Structure 1
Amino acid sequence: MRAGFSEALTLVGYVLGGAVTPVVGGWASGWVGGQVLDDTVLMCVALFEVAFLLGMVRAGLRGARWLARASAGRRRAAEAPDVSP
């Protein structure tokens, strides 16, 4: 599997985790009760959001590096001398 596809699936997992955790936490705190569970759910949601943000920054930096390499390759191809006989 390509690395870019795996990173996209990871980001989707972070989004799903951030969306599902409060729902399941609300259900569990209503069933079990307790402030500790609510605080834990809040911390999990915060960690999912931070992980998603860092993943987006990493994807943006990889995209910028890819664009720079692609434009440099096109520039080199345009500057290459024609060696046809």
Structure 2
Amino acid sequence: MIMDYCEQDVIDGKVQLHIGLQFEDEPDSLYVAELAVADNGDVKAWTLFFNGFDCKYTFRPEEIEALIRYAAEHGITIQAASSR
């Protein structure tokens, strides 16, 4: 995955993290990973969107690790809920 931005928003009192990304095998397609984050930093939901539509995608463990590292590079500490 190639990630190009990371934004944290609070929507209706809930923290959401948006990470823009591309997959190496689809260089012309831009996706957004939307992560629902609990107050303790646990990610409660990992959703992938393309053109505003939910892709119903299941992130692989190595992709989750890459997203966590990328967020950390931008000063945002998150973790997979099951990684505690």
TM-score (norm 1): 0.26
Q: Which one has a larger percent strand, Structure 1 or Structure 2? A: 2
TM-score (norm 2): 0.27
Q: Which one has a larger percent helix, Structure 1 or Structure 2? A: 1
Instruction: Specify the structure having the higher radius of gyration (Cα).
Output: 1
